Amino acid sequence: MSLLRHCPALLLAAPSSGQGKTTVTAALARYHRQQGRRVRVFKAGPDFLDPMIHEQASGAPVHSIDLWITGEADARRRLYQAAGEADLILLEGVMGLFDGQPSSADIACTLGIPVLLCIRGAAMAQTFAAIAHGLATYRPGLPVAGVFANQVSGERHYALLQEGLAPGLTAFGYLPDRPDFALPSRHLGLVQASEVADLETRLDHAAAQLQWTQPALPPPVAFAPVADSPPPPLLAGQHIAVARDAAFAFIYPANLETLEQLGAHLHFFSPVAGEGLPPSVDAVYLPGGYPELHLSALAANQQLKADLTGHVQAGRPVLAECGGMLYLLEYLSDLAGHTAPLAGILPGEARMQKRLAGLGPQALSLPEGTLRGHRFHYSTMHTPLTPWAQTVCPNGRPHREAVYRTGRVTASYVHWYFPSSPQAVAALLGA
């Protein structure tokens, strides 16, 4: 008996960022969900904001897929599981189809998922077909399902876009150019789903306006099983506090899953809401997010500052990523120049800036294993601390990030993907 699972699947990719992949993916997820189908969405590359939108659109958790950060085996395992639960799998690509190492095209070829070319049709006519042809033929062996047009003014415009499409390049439909389902954005990307008050209405409008011109579902893709060996319970019985709110929302679902597989009990709390640490916790995880947008609330939370100080003085672990690290500093300044005193666990300050300060994959080698992740930040940090370690970029570039260690506090700009080395995570957070 074959253990293969078959499920229709598409990888939505575009010529570049800004083509509307997230809006189209979310619209497709909501459209097929409204047809009574179970839809599972994945996001290529390291991302936290797009998955929030897709989770709302599909009604199911959204995991990231990156052939280096998450790894091929992790990707295959999650796709295989989804294929047993869903009627349709959608995978939103990252940047342009061939951008990055690894790229969306690499993911499509490695995992055998056909690409649906998502191209912005605004201010364009027959050139649409030339772009589609170039994307479809640039890399031999790339599986291409067809093309989907975004920001289309109407049926006549869509007809012009289809003129000259190469034989075999199927047109799957289009999404009109409408402001009522546009997704707002800010400096790190889209606005968090929880902050868009009318997101449900926007998603429903997008699904209602979407023109899907092909049969209900694309052909099924075969997904093979992958051996799964859960990590040993190195954190058995440990209670870990996890900051989770509008300021600390950049959390991979897989990270929480890994902590639970390691045996930890998770306790969520909101610094923005004025909450202190949950009682009797053994460790604290401060993920990234937008602390700079909540300076007043964070500065006013004296209880959490006192709790963290006592926690650290007792020699208990803290793992802080990006925005979580900024919160541990003495001061943080936002883009408008407003400065607030924060936790004061780490000496120094950070300032937000309009220019991107760090981007790309990073790895940290520890005795327990190599922890993988990525950096993406618009702040600069000044501290007298000497780095405990330095990360390395897998693409051979000289970009590095400092990892700071004082007592049992470990802090860095890097957002770690815990499944890449559960043993290393257990060493950082273990009692």
Q: Which domains does the chain have, with CATH numbers?
A: 5-223 (3.40.50.300), 239-429 (3.40.50.880)
With 0-12 / 13-18 / 19 or more C-beta atoms within 10 angstroms meaning exposed / middle / buried, residue 236 is exposed
Residue 212 Cα to chain centre, angstroms:
27
Say if CB 219 and CB 8 are below 8 A apart. Answer: yes
Confidence of residue 178 (pLDDT cuts 50, 70, 90): confident
Locus of tokens 């415009």? 157
Lowest mean pLDDT among 63-77, 147-161, 185-199: 185-199
Q: Which two tokens stand for residue 2?
A: 């074959």
Confidence of residue 188 (pLDDT cuts 50, 70, 90): low
Residue 350 Cα to chain centre, angstroms:
24
pLDDT for res 1: 54
HSE of 53, CA atoms in CB hemisphere, 13 A: 32
* Residue positions annotated with a catalytic role: 322
Q: Which two tokens stand for residue 110?
A: 């490695």
Mean pLDDT of 406-415: 98
Mean pLDDT of 344-356: 96
Position with higher pLDDT, 281 vs 191: 281
Q: For residue 112, what are the contacts with CB-CB under 8 A and spacing of at least 6?
A: 143, 221, 222
Tens of pLDDT, residue by residue over 21-44, are: 999 999 999 999 999 999 999 999
Confidence of residue 190 (pLDDT cuts 50, 70, 90): low
- Please give the backbone phi and psi of residue 285, each rounded to the nearest 5 degrees, phi first: -115, 120
Locus of tokens 């408008």? 336
Locus of tokens 């802090």? 411
Mean pLDDT of 197-213: 92
In degrees, rounded to 5, the angle at the alpha carbon of residue 104 between the alpha carbons of residues 27 and 110 is 115
Calculate the average pLDDT of the chain: 95
Say if CB 420 and CB 71 are below 8 A apart. Answer: yes
In degrees, rounded to 5, the angle at the alpha carbon of residue 181 between the alpha carbons of residues 65 and 162 is 75
Mean pLDDT of 176-205: 79
For the cut 80, the answer to whether the pLDDT of residue 180 exceeds it is no
Q: Across the chain, which distance is largest between two alpha carbons, in Å?
A: 70
pLDDT for res 186: 57
Say if CB 377 and CB 321 are below 8 A apart. Answer: no
Tens of pLDDT, residue by residue over 113-159, are: 999 999 999 999 999 999 999 999 999 999 999 999 999 999 999 99
- In terms of Cα–Cα distance, which of 320, 361, 360, 328 is closest to 346? 328
Tens of pLDDT, residue by residue over 210-224, are: 999 988 899 999 999
Q: What letter represents residue 315's amino acid?
A: G
- In terms of Cα–Cα distance, which of 238, 346, 345 is closest to 283? 238
Alpha-carbon Rg of the chain, whole angstroms?
Answer: 22
- In terms of Cα–Cα distance, which of 253, 230, 325 is closest to 284? 325
Mean pLDDT of 342-355: 97
pLDDT for res 396: 78
pLDDT for res 58: 97
Q: CA torsion 322→257→203→89, rounded to 10°?
A: 120
Mean pLDDT of 387-397: 91
Helix (H) or strand (E) holding 218: none
| CA separation for the pair 420, 430 (Å, rounded) | 17
pTM of the model: 0.95
Share of the chain above pLDDT 90, in %: 89
3-state secondary structure 124-165: CCCHHHHHHHHHHHCCCCCCEEEEEEEEECCHHHHHHHHCCC
Tens of pLDDT, residue by residue over 292-330, are: 999 999 999 999 999 999 999 999 999 999 999 999 999
**Strand-pair category, 415-417 with 369-377:** antiparallel
Residue 63 Cα to chain centre, angstroms:
8
Helix (H) or strand (E) holding 330: none
Helix (H) or strand (E) holding 379: strand 379-382
| CA separation for the pair 191, 193 (Å, rounded) | 6
CB count, 10 Å around CB of 82? Answer: 24
For the cut 70, the answer to whether the pLDDT of residue 167 exceeds it is yes
Q: Which two tokens stand for residue 305?
A: 């500052």
Q: Which two tokens stand for residue 96?
A: 């342009």
3-state secondary structure 242-290: EECCCCCCECCHHHHHHHHHCCCEEEEECCCCCCCCCCCCCEEEECECC
Q: Distances in Å between the alpha carbon of 74 and those of 70, 106, 229?
A: 6, 15, 11
